[in-house]
Amino acid sequence: MRETLTRIIIRLGRGGTVAAVTTASVVLSVGITYLLMLALGAPPEAQPLIISALVPLLVASAVSWFVVEVLFRLHARWRAKSAVLPLLTCSPE
The rounded distance, in Å, linking the Cα atoms of 33 and 25 is: 12
- How confident is the model at residue 38, as a pLDDT? 95
- How confident is the model at residue 84, as a pLDDT? 61
The rounded distance, in Å, linking the Cα atoms of 16 and 22 is: 10
The rounded distance, in Å, linking the Cα atoms of 17 and 75 is: 14
Average pLDDT over every residue of 23-50: 95
69, 14 Cβ separation under 8 angstroms:
yes
pTM score, whole prediction: 0.75
Average pLDDT over every residue of 38-63: 93
Look at residue 14 and tell me whether its pLDDT is greater than 80: yes
Average pLDDT over every residue of 28-44: 95
